[in-house]
């Protein structure tokens, strides 16, 4: 179990990621900012799942279920979103 | 024909080349299926009889693990490879089905609860019956005024949904004259089952005669020109306009650059969006002043407007 | 080794209490299974009555008892009730509930209170749907396609949508319960590869339940908000895309088809081994093919939309993946067939249901390839060909297996044997009645009769009459078990531990099982399906 | 932690088994919740894709400042919840109580911000079926706001449930009905749910506020 300080560290990183995300948006980096925003969000989410939700210390089966869910969400997005640009 | 006992139609007419090829594929897959089913049924019957509880059959199993693996993989892989042949064959037909040839006779179709409205390029309109010429590719440009419908002609082995808010295409070349069923295949409400009528294939000469008889005041594009003024489009897009609005002459079929930097093909759907969803694809360099006509122009009028814009030669300022 | 019948047998779960409270609020998985059995039987007959009326009406091309509107409401009720209130809960919620804890050597599911809650939620949801039916019906079809359902339908869409939405929670909670139970409550020695294949298949089903159902919940929520608050999500006037609705709906509903049929595979593996008295052919292959089907099931939803305005390229991808899913299904059929080889095959009623299943499922599966083939689907989709195809799988497959399971485990659930001969006759009637009902529909579809047609061109009448004739046989065959099974409750022979001489933990405990299932936790030292049974726990009459 | 575990229900043989079952059950539940929100995100993404201009116009109407503050508040609450679980596992009752109350307050702060946003947007006419006339010319902008209200509403309902759960845990701790570390599992479960709801917002914020801006 990480120390209290570690959780505070994760918190600071999360706030920093939020800050970067805002900077990216407000600086108008063009079409890339959308992708960058989502990548930063994904990074924050991974931090929350891995540390705050204790997945790091959890059994393998929980990790498997967490990854599995992401895979099924990716299936929904990749196959579903493929429809519109190729019509 | 005895009305109490109508004759079943076990063979469908093959009205197009697509239908002919379709029947071959269907036949091939049926043969595959029958062989497969028979094999399974025979195996079940054989085992059921030979190894029934009371039978004295020899039960010592001599199949080794290795041959089991070979057996398992062969009976899963061989059918799969065979199936892929069908996938490719069907896929080729599907791609052909989705690509109307250039220069096809274009007929506008609007589905509406519960009727099909057809409009020929010359402006001739008909409801629930569609007259087409023999031997000439016909492209149906379809949309719907309310819910999703689906135009289905069994003799052609084709169908396609008519979807509100966009245009879809369906094409065919009829190769026999006659009268064939035309249905709505997507459930669309109370009278879904009576939404349909006939596809009538005529010789080109007969078709011309029919067009002349069906008569109409104005061609599609001509009617569109009147609507162009009626809805006030000419106020901004017209020759004498002082408003900074894009010129529409020669627009159709070109590629338009939008304000947010995308390249969009100016087809029926694009022009439709410009009228009903302005701002979706606003042309670069023009202010967002196009009024929204969504819900104010009927599907039939939209088709006429599009036909009119399409008819404008490059450089023309209507 | 395990709890055998002792001198003073423990009280069975049925005798655990005789009050209504002891049934409706018991957290015992077996009691809840019985609650499900009773409630889904009721729903089955409501949906079946609608089907009977539909077939009766279609005797004539011009319609003779129903208006167009009434007909549309009937097929919607048939679809909604059969899909969400019979097929989806049928095998998992009754037999899964009853058997999974016993098969893995546990006393109950991991969350018994949640299990009871699932049943109450299910019944509550059913009330909404029945209410929608009573106050005037719904005319959207079970698919609730936008924009028809949101803007044009004049039926009671809202209560129906709410009902289906709520029933989803029941499905999710049941799936969750099964997953955790299989992971965490297996008896000592019960490794994954010693599990009966029933458990594997229900486990795969549960994964689909948990991952697919919430997407339906969202989709229905959007439909609800669009209809009640006027928030357009799929409204073309606003630039909304009705095809988006179809993507979301089928992302759920195609996997849902596997929620309905994987449990049938579960039952098949048990029946084929028990009545061939032989170890299953290719245990691991069958186990993994269940998981493969569950996973691949999420990759094929677009094959419902080949002519719905979906991109052609995406259509081709979905098509080839749909062909792929035929492989694990075919493997299962081969393996069940091969299981009979070198066995001691007997033909009791459950086995007849199982053999009937193979026949109908193979036909249903192969015709599935016709509609998965893009170029062929353009003609066949939305015709009776599709209707026949999925009824072959759902009714020919799942319902046959449901009845097979009912006959196979009836002695275990009630402690009584049903009369054998009526059982066999019903199994045969269902097979042949089914063929007569749905074979003509393949031809109707090929000839171009669209589905959901109340009135149809007169040349289709002969085939429709044949189909209706078959349906009347089915109506009799599906009702008959109600009578002889009820009779057996009072007059049936006592079943004993193991009337079929089958392997599996459930056949080593008394029938009906005691409240706790096992006196002591069993320690499993054998593989699944250890036929021929060595130290025979032979069928014997218990001495009451 | 394995030395202090609660009584075992009859279907389990060992306390560890029960704990693992509870955890797995909650993760499976969260998987299901993820798919529920996934479908909302899917619809949102599709409309971002096919109506970029309208989505841009609509996005610009949202108040970025309250959005960022709300996000920061939720990120903080995720951390306080993690600290609560740690304190519970290690049996520090008072500390757990403090961070749990902090979590509740942060949750309430987020809800307050959101309600403020909604009123603000309603006044601007952005709630399409009611209120002042919709200010944007693009019809597809309405699609955006319809989805905006459904997705933020669905999230707010989930968060409200979370607030009740955390408050309930805090109350049981305060009244000594709940013993730590014996009932750590309860704090853990509530924490997982809470942080999941945070993650939904972590994705909802850029999807609604940023990507089309």
Q: Enumerate domains of chain C plus CATH numbers.
A: 27-508 (1.20.210.10)
A16-55 tens-digit pLDDT: 999 999 998 888 777 788 899 999 999 999 999 999 999 9
Q: Answer yes or no: is B296 within a domain.
A: yes
- Which residue ranges in chain D fall short of pLDDT 50? 1-5
User: In this predicted structure, what is the pLDDT of residue B76?
Assistant: 85
For residue D181, whether the previous peptide bond is cis, meaning omega lies within 30 degrees of 0, is: yes
User: In this predicted structure, what is the pLDDT of residue A31?
Assistant: 72
User: In this predicted structure, what is the pLDDT of residue C536?
Assistant: 46
Q: Flag whether residue A10 sits within 8 Å of chain D, measured between CB atoms.
A: yes
Q: CB-side exposure of B26: number of CA atoms within 13 Å?
A: 23
User: In this predicted structure, what is the pLDDT of residue A81?
Assistant: 94
pLDDT band at B244 (very low <50, low <70, confident <90, very high): confident
Phi-psi region of B256 (alpha: psi -120 to 50; beta: other; left: phi over 0): beta
Residue B220 near residue B304, CB atoms below 8 Å = yes
Q: Answer yes or no: is B268 within a domain.
A: yes
Q: The tokens of B251 are what?
A: 């627009």
* CB spacing of C306 vs B94 below 8 angstroms: yes
Domain boundary residue, one of B170, B193, B214: B214
Q: How far apart are CA B90 and CA C379, in angstroms?
A: 12
Distance from CA of D131 to the nearest CA of A (A): 31
Q: How far apart are CA C78 and CA C72, in angstroms?
A: 10
**Helices and strands of chain C, counted as H and E runs:** 17, 0
pLDDT band at B298 (very low <50, low <70, confident <90, very high): confident
Degrees (nearest 5) of the Cα angle C32, C34, C37? 115
Q: What are phi and psi of C151, to 5 degrees?
A: -120, -20
* CB spacing of B80 vs C324 below 8 angstroms: yes
Q: What are phi and psi of B27, to 5 degrees?
A: -65, -45
Q: Answer yes or no: is B2 within a domain.
A: no
User: In this predicted structure, what is the pLDDT of residue B261?
Assistant: 75
Q: Flag whether residue B296 sits within 8 Å of chain D, measured between CB atoms.
A: no
Q: The tokens of B138 are what?
A: 């016909």
Q: Answer yes or no: is D79 within a domain.
A: yes
User: In this predicted structure, what is the pLDDT of residue B95?
Assistant: 95
Give C-chain residues touching D51 at CB under 8 angstroms.
Answer: 239
B/e letters for C98-120, b = 16+ CB within 10 Å, e = fewer, are: bbbbbbbbbbbbbbbebbbbbbe
Whether residues B90 and B111 share a domain: the answer is no
User: In this predicted structure, what is the pLDDT of residue B9?
Assistant: 52
Q: How far apart are CA C316 and CA C322, in angstroms?
A: 10
Non-local CB neighbours of C386 within 8 Å, separated by 6+ positions: C371, C380, C445, C451
Neighbours of chain D (3+ CB pairs under 8 A): A, B, C
* CA dihedral of residues C299, C385, C272, C340 (deg, nearest 10): -110
Q: Answer yes or no: is B1 within a domain.
A: no
Whether residues B192 and B128 share a domain: the answer is yes
Give C-chain residues touching B147 at CB under 8 angstroms.
Answer: 145, 147-148, 151-152
- DSSP state at residue C313: H
- Nearest Cα residue in chain D from A78: D42
* CB spacing of B258 vs D53 below 8 angstroms: yes
* CB spacing of C311 vs A69 below 8 angstroms: no
B206-265 residues touching D, CB cutoff 8 A: 258-260, 262
How do B125-127 and B115-119 pair as beta strands? Answer: antiparallel
Q: Answer yes or no: is D176 within a domain.
A: yes
User: In this predicted structure, what is the pLDDT of residue C254?
Assistant: 96
Whether residues B179 and B122 share a domain: the answer is yes
* CB spacing of A40 vs D76 below 8 angstroms: no
For helices C312-340 and A60-81, the axis angle rounded to 10 degrees is: 130
Partner-chain residue, chosen from C247, C301, C311, that has the shortest CB–CB distance to A87: C311
- Bridge partners, B139 (sequence order): B106, B171
Q: The tokens of B48 are what?
A: 């059921």
In this prediction, residues B294-302 reach a mean pLDDT of: 83
Q: How far apart are CA D82 and CA D188, in angstroms?
A: 9
Degrees (nearest 5) of the Cα angle B256, B261, B265? 25
* CA dihedral of residues D82, D83, D84, D89 (deg, nearest 10): 90
Q: The tokens of C184 are what?
A: 């965490």
Q: How far apart are CA C85 and CA C122, in angstroms?
A: 8
Distance from CA of C153 to the nearest CA of A (A): 27
User: In this predicted structure, what is the pLDDT of residue B299?
Assistant: 84
B77-108 tens-digit pLDDT: 888 898 999 999 999 999 999 999 999 999 99
> How many structural domains compose chain B?
3
- DSSP state at residue D198: H
Q: How far apart are CA C107 and CA C100, in angstroms?
A: 10
User: In this predicted structure, what is the pLDDT of residue D170?
Assistant: 95
Q: What is the CATH number of the domain that holds D91?
A: 1.20.120.80
Q: The tokens of C182 are what?
A: 């299989």
> How many structural domains compose chain D?
1
Query: B170 in helix, strand or coil?
Result: strand
* Mean pLDDT, chain C cut into blocks of 10 residues (544 residues total): 50 82 89 95 94 95 90 94 95 96 94 96 94 87 92 90 96 97 94 96 97 96 93 90 96 95 96 94 93 95 95 95 93 94 93 95 95 95 96 94 96 94 96 96 94 92 95 95 94 92 92 90 90 57 39
Partner-chain residue, chosen from B258, B281, B294, that has the shortest CB–CB distance to D139: B294
* CB spacing of D137 vs B279 below 8 angstroms: yes
Q: What are phi and psi of D63, to 5 degrees?
A: -85, 105
Least Cα distance to C379 among C370, C392, C389 occurs for: C370
How do B196-202 and B178-184 pair as beta strands? Answer: antiparallel
Residue A21 near residue D206, CB atoms below 8 Å = yes
Q: Answer yes or no: is D16 within a domain.
A: no
* CB spacing of A38 vs D86 below 8 angstroms: no
Residues in chain A: 87
User: In this predicted structure, what is the pLDDT of residue C324?
Assistant: 94
D122-161 residues touching A, CB cutoff 8 A: none
Q: What is the CATH number of the domain that holds B129?
A: 2.60.40.420
**Residue recorded with tokens 């040349």:** C459
Residue C351 near residue B134, CB atoms below 8 Å = no
Partner-chain residue, chosen from C215, C247, C299, that has the shortest CB–CB distance to A83: C247
**Residue recorded with tokens 């199994």:** C427
Least Cα distance to C388 among C408, C363, C420 occurs for: C363
Q: What are phi and psi of B255, to 5 degrees?
A: -105, 130
- Nearest Cα residue in chain D from A77: D42
Q: How far apart are CA C523 and CA B225, in angstroms?
A: 86
* CB spacing of B280 vs D54 below 8 angstroms: yes
* CB spacing of B260 vs D140 below 8 angstroms: no
Partner-chain residue, chosen from C148, C344, C379, that has the shortest CB–CB distance to B147: C148
Query: B157 in helix, strand or coil?
Result: coil
* CB spacing of C108 vs D11 below 8 angstroms: yes
* CB spacing of D53 vs B278 below 8 angstroms: no
Q: Answer yes or no: is B9 within a domain.
A: no
Q: Flag whether residue D211 sits within 8 Å of chain B, measured between CB atoms.
A: no
Q: Answer yes or no: is D75 within a domain.
A: yes
Q: Answer yes or no: is B8 within a domain.
A: no
* CB spacing of C457 vs B181 below 8 angstroms: yes
Partner-chain residue, chosen from D51, D56, D137, that has the shortest CB–CB distance to B292: D137
| ipTM associated with this complex | 0.90
Query: D59 in helix, strand or coil?
Result: helix
Partner-chain residue, chosen from C69, C148, C327, that has the shortest CB–CB distance to B76: C327
- Nearest Cα residue in chain D from A59: D20
Q: How far apart are CA D6 and CA D12, in angstroms?
A: 12
How far is C-alpha B19 from the chain's CA centre? 15
H or E element, residue C250: helix C242-276
Q: Answer yes or no: is D30 within a domain.
A: yes
Q: Answer yes or no: is D2 within a domain.
A: no
Residue A25 near residue D213, CB atoms below 8 Å = yes
Start-to-end CA span in chain A (Å): 51
For residue C432, count CB atoms less than 10 angstroms from its CB and return exposed for 0-12, middle for 13-18, buried for 19 or more: middle
Residue A73 has pLDDT above 50, yes or no: yes
User: In this predicted structure, what is the pLDDT of residue A32?
Assistant: 82
Q: Flag whether residue D51 sits within 8 Å of chain B, measured between CB atoms.
A: yes
Tell me the CA distances in angstroms from D177 to B318, C471, D173, D183, one per residue in order: 82, 61, 6, 10
When scoring B61, B114, B164 by the number of chain C Cβ atoms within 10 A, the one with the most, hence best to mutate, is B164
Q: What is the CATH number of the domain that holds B238?
A: 1.10.760.10
Residue A52 near residue A7, CB atoms below 8 Å = yes
Whether residues B135 and B170 share a domain: the answer is yes
- Nearest Cα residue in chain C from D23: C180
Partner-chain residue, chosen from A72, A82, A84, that has the shortest CB–CB distance to C298: A72
Least Cα distance to D62 among B222, A25, C381 occurs for: A25
Domain boundary residue, one of B145, B180, B214: B214
How do B129-133 and B196-202 pair as beta strands? Answer: parallel
Q: Flag whether residue C69 sits within 8 Å of chain B, measured between CB atoms.
A: yes
Whether residues B109 and B94 share a domain: the answer is no
User: In this predicted structure, what is the pLDDT of residue B208?
Assistant: 93
Partner-chain residue, chosen from C101, C211, C221, that has the shortest CB–CB distance to D35: C211
In this prediction, residues B172-189 reach a mean pLDDT of: 94
Distance from CA of C390 to the nearest CA of D (A): 26
For residue C512, whether the previous peptide bond is cis, meaning omega lies within 30 degrees of 0, is: yes
Whether residues B193 and B237 share a domain: the answer is no
Q: How many CB atoms lie within 10 A of CB D59?
A: 20
Distance from CA of C182 to the nearest CA of D (A): 10
Least Cα distance to C167 among C50, C71, C39 occurs for: C39
Q: Answer yes or no: is D15 within a domain.
A: no
Start-to-end CA span in chain D (Å): 48
Q: How many CB atoms lie within 10 A of CB C23?
A: 17
Q: Flag whether residue D139 sits within 8 Å of chain B, measured between CB atoms.
A: yes
Domain boundary residue, one of B214, B244, B276: B214
Distance from CA of A78 to the nearest CA of C (A): 10
Helix, strand, coil proportions of chain C in percent (round to 5)? Answer: 70, 0, 30
Q: How far apart are CA A55 and CA A59, in angstroms?
A: 8
Structural domain including D167 reads: 22-210
Structural domain including B94 reads: 17-51+61-98
- Bridge partners, B197 (sequence order): B182
Q: The tokens of C406 are what?
A: 């009912």
Q: Answer yes or no: is D52 within a domain.
A: yes
For residue B102, count CB atoms less than 10 angstroms from its CB and return exposed for 0-12, middle for 13-18, buried for 19 or more: exposed
- DSSP state at residue A30: T
């Amino acid at each position: 179990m990480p120390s209290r300080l570690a959780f505070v560290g994760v918190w600071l990183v999360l706030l920093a990621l939020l800050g970067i995300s805002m900077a990216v948006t407000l600086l108008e980096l063009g079409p890339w900012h959308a992708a960058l925003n989502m990548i930063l969000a994904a990074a924050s989410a991974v931090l929350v799942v891995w540390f705050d939700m204790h997945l790091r210390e959890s059994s393998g089966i929980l990790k498997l279920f967490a990854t599995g869910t992401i895979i099924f969400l990716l299936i929904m997005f990749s196959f579903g979103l493929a429809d519109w640009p190729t019509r | 024909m005895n009305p109490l006992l109508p004759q079943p139609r076990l063979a469908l007419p093959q009205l197009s080349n697509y239908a002919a090829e379709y029947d071959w594929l269907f036949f091939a897959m049926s043969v595959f299926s029958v062989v497969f089913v028979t094999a399974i049924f025979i195996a079940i019957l054989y085992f059921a009889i030979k190894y029934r509880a009371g039978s004295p059959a020899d039960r010592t199993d001599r199949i080794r693990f290795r041959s089991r693996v070979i057996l398992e993989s062969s009976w899963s892989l061989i059918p799969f490879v065979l199936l892929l042949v069908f996938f490719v064959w069907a896929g080729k037909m599907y791609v052909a089905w989705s690509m109307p040839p250039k220069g096809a006779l274009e007929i506008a179709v609007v589905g509406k609860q519960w009727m099909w409205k057809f409009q020929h390029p010359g402006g001739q309109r008909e409801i629930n019956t569609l007259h087409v010429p023999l031997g000439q590719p016909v492209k149906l440009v379809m949309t719907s005024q309310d819910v999703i419908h689906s135009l289905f002609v069994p003799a052609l082995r084709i169908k396609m949904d008519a979807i509100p808010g966009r245009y879809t295409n369906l094409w065919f070349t009829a190769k026999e004259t006659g009268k064939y069923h035309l249905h709505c295949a997507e459930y669309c409400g109370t009278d879904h089952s009576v939404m349909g009528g006939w596809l009538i294939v005529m010789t080109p000469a007969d078709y011309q005669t029919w067009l002349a008889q069906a008569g109409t005041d104005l061609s599609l594009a001509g009617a569109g020109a009147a609507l162009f003024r009626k809805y006030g489009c000419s106020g901004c897009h017209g020759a004498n306009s002082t408003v900074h609005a894009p010129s529409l002459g020669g627009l159709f079929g070109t590629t338009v650059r939008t304000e947010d930097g995308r390249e969009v093909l100016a087809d029926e759907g694009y022009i439709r969006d410009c009228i009903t969803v302005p701002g979706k694809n606003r042309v670069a360099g023009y202010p967002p002043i196009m009024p929204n006509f969504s819900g104010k122009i009927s599907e039939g009028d939209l088709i006429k407007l599009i036909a009119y814009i399409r008819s404008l030669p490059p450089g023309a300022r209507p | 080794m395990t709890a055998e019948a002792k001198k003073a047998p423990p009280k069975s779960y049925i005798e655990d209490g005789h009050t209504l409270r002891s049934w409706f609020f018991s957290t015992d998985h077996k009691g809840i299974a019985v609650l499900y059995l009773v409630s889904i039987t009721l729903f089955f007959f409501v949906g079946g009555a609608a089907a009977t009326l539909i077939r009766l009406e279609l005797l004539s091309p011009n319609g003779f008892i129903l208006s167009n509107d009434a007909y549309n409401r009937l097929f919607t009720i048939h679809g909604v009730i059969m899909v969400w209130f019979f097929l989806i809960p049928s095998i998992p919620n009754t037999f899964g509930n009853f058997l999974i804890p016993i098969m893995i050597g546990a006393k109950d599911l991991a969350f018994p209170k949640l299990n009871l809650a699932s049943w109450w939620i299910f019944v509550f949801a059913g009330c909404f749907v029945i209410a929608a039916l009573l106050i005037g019906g719904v005319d959207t079809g079970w698919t609730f396609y936008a924009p028809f359902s949101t803007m044009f339908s004049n039926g009671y869409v809202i209560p129906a949508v709410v009902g289906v939405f709520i029933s989803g929670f029941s499905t999710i909670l049941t799936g969750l319960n099964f997953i955790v139970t299989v992971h965490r409550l297996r008896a000592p020695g019960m490794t994954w590869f010693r599990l009966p294949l029933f458990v594997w298949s229900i486990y795969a089903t549960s994964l689909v339940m948990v991952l697919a159902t919430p997407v339906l919940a969202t989709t229905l929520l959007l439909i609800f908000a669009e209809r009640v608050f006027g928030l357009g999500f799929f409204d073309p006037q606003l630039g909304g895309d009705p095809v988006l609705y179809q993507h979301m709906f089928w992302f759920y509903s195609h996997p849902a088809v596997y929620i309905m049929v994987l449990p049938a595979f579960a039952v098949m593996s048990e029946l084929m081994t028990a009545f061939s008295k032989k170890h299953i052919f290719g245990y691991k292959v069958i186990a993994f093919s269940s998981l493969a089907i569950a996973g691949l099931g999420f990759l094929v939803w677009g094959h419902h939309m080949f002519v719905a305005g979906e991109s052609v390229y995406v259509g081709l991808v979905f098509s080839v993946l749909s062909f792929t899913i035929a492989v694990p299904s075919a493997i299962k059929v081969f393996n069940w067939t091969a299981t009979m080889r070198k066995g001691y095959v007997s033909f009791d009623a459950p086995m007849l249901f199982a053999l009937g299943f193979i026949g109908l499922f193979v036909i249903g599966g192969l015709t599935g390839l016709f509609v998965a083939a893009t170029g062929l689907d353009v003609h066949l989709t939305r015709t009776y060909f599709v209707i026949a195809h999925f009824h072959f799988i759902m009714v020919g497959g799942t319902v046959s297996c449901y009845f097979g399971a009912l006959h196979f485990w009836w002695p275990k659930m009630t402690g009584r044997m049903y009369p054998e001969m009526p059982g066999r006759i019903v199994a045969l009637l269902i097979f042949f009645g089914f063929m007569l009902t749905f074979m003509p529909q393949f031809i109707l579809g090929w000839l171009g009769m669209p589905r959901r047609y109340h009135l149809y061109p007169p040349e289709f009448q002969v085939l429709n009459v044949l189909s209706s004739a078959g349906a009347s046989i089915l109506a009799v065959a599906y009702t008959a078990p109600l009578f002889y099974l009820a009779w057996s409750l009072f007059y049936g022979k006592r079943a004993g531990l193991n009337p079929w001489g089958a392997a599996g933990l459930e056949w080593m405990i008394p029938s009906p099982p005691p409240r706790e299932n096992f006196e002591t936790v069993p320690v499993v030292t054998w593989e699944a399906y250890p036929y021929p049974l060595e130290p025979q726990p032979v069928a014997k009459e218990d001495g009451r | 932690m394995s030395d202090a575990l609660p009584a075992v229900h009859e279907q389990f043989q060992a306390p560890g088994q029960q704990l693992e079952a509870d955890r797995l059950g909650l993760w499976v539940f969260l998987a299901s919740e993820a798919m529920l929100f996934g479908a909302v995100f899917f619809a949102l993404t599709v409309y971002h894709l096919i109506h970029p201009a309208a989505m841009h116009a609509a996005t610009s109407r949202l108040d970025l400042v309250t959005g960022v503050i709300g996000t920061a508040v939720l990120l903080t609450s995720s951390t306080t919840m993690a600290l609560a679980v740690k304190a519970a596992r290690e049996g520090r009752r008072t500390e757990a109580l403090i961070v749990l109350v902090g979590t509740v307050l942060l949750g309430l702060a987020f809800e307050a911000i959101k309600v403020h946003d909604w009123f603000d947007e309603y006044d601007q006419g952005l709630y399409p079926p009611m209120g002042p006339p919709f200010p944007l010319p693009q019809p597809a902008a309405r699609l955006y706001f319809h989805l905006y209200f459904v997705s933020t509403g669905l999230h707010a309902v989930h968060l409200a449930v979370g607030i009740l759960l955390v408050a309930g845990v805090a109350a049981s701790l305060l009244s000594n009905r709940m013993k730590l570390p014996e009932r750590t599992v309860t704090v853990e479960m509530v924490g997982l749910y809470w942080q999941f709801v945070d993650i939904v917002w972590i994705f909802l914020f850029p999807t609604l506020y940023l990507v089309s801006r």
